[in-house]
Amino acid sequence: MKESEEFAEDDEINVTKKAKRSVTEKDVEIKKTPIQPPVKQTKVTKKTEQGGVVVKDNSKAKSQWKKKPIIYLKEQLELRGRKFNADQFTGANKLTKGSLLSMLYMADDIM
């Protein structure tokens, strides 16, 4: 009877050792998996004719927009999907800074 009890204890010890080995093997497998780099937020950009890059400006302050030149406002509106022709900025009915600002305010819902 004692021998069968010893074998039963040995079996339990072997089972726990196997279980411990399988857990450590799983841990090792988890550690071997490559770490994913963080996802970078992409910026909305546009290349200008001169070769520069324009980044979308998300400012909500009207005072900040009023200080910017017409070309900057035009480029920001183009980044937001508005298309312009060159003749829209010349002649008697040309687009003014005020009209570009109002388009920009409507595009960004700036009150």
54 bridge partner residues: 46
Q: Does residue 96 carry a pLDDT above 90?
A: yes
Residue 54 pLDDT: 79
How many distinct structural domains can be found in the chain?
2
Rounded distance, CA 68 to CA 66, Å? 6
Verify that 68 and 26 share a domain, yes or no. no
| Residue 88 pLDDT | 92
- Give the residues across from 53 on adjacent strands: 47
Please indicate, yes or no, if residue 40 is contained in any of the structural domains.
no
Range of the domain at 76: 45-108
- The two three-digit tokens of residue 20, written as one number: 């411990």
- Measured between alpha carbons, how far is 75 from 104 in angstroms, rounded to an integer? 11
Helix (H, G, I), strand (E, B) or coil at 40: coil
Q: Which helix (H) or strand (E) holds 20?
A: helix 2-32
Residues 88 and 50 in one domain: yes
Per-residue pLDDT at 95 exceeds 90: yes
Q: For residue 109, what pLDDT band results from cuts at 50, 70 and 90?
A: confident
